[in-house]
């Protein structure tokens, strides 16, 4: 059983640029969520995708967007990068969309992409 894989592992971008981060979900998982974790903070929910559609969104501006593909892999795109976007970006997959069942199984996180905006 393969885990959640993310690429790239590290990235340095200039303010104003655009970035795309990629994630392959764990085998058997059909839901992908993206989180932003700033240094010393807990992960903050960006959005979730289920069946190729956005299925929930946190308090992030529209310049954060995403996609999910038929094989359940996903992309996170961030436009007009700002210095505060520097963080660890975590992709998390799960077997069922949280909220769709009586209980939630919890996430399996990928190793993350460390984004630095200069």
Partner 1 sequence: QKEVEQNSGPLSVPEGAIASLNCTYSDRGSQSFFWYRQYSGKSPELIMSIYSNGDKEDGRFTAQLNKASQYVSLLIRDSQPSDSATYLCAVKRFFSGNQFYFGTGTSLTVIP
Residues engaged in binding partner 1 (CB under 8 A): 33, 35, 40-45, 48, 55-58, 88, 90, 97-99, 103-112
Q: To the nearest whole angstrom, how small is the minimum distance from the Cβ of residue 18 to partner 1?
A: 24
Q: To the nearest whole angstrom, how small is the minimum distance from the Cβ of residue 60 to partner 1?
A: 11
Beta carbon nearer to partner 1, 16 or 106? 106
Distance of CA 78 to the CA centre of its chain: 11
Q: How far is CA 22 from CA 33, 39, 41, 64, 103, in A?
A: 12, 21, 22, 14, 28
Q: At closest approach, how far in Å is the CB of 81 from partner 1? A: 22
Nearer to partner 1, 18 or 72 (CB): 72
For partner 1, give the closer residue by CB, 14 or 59: 59
The residues near 103 (Cβ < 8 Å, ≥ 6 apart) are none
Pairing, β 19-24 against β 74-78: antiparallel
**Pair 77, 20: CB distance under 8 Å:** yes
Of 85 and 109, which has the nearer Cβ to partner 1?
A: 109
Provide, rounded to whole angstroms, the least separation between the CB of residue 84 and partner 1: 17
């Amino acid at each position: 059983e393969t885990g959640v894989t993310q690429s790239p592992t590290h990235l340095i971008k200039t303010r104003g640029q655009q970035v795309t981060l990629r994630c392959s979900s764990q085998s058997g998982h059909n839901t992908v969520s993206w989180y932003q974790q700033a240094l010393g903070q807990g992960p903050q929910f960006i959005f979730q995708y289920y069946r190729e559609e956005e299925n929930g969104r946190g308090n992030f501006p529209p310049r954060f967007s995403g996609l999910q593909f038929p094989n359940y892999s996903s992309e996170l795109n961030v436009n007009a990068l700002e210095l505060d976007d520097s963080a660890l970006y975590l992709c998390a997959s799960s077997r069922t969309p949280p909220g769709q069942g009586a209980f939630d199984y919890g996430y399996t996180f990928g190793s993350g992409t460390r984004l630095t905006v200069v």
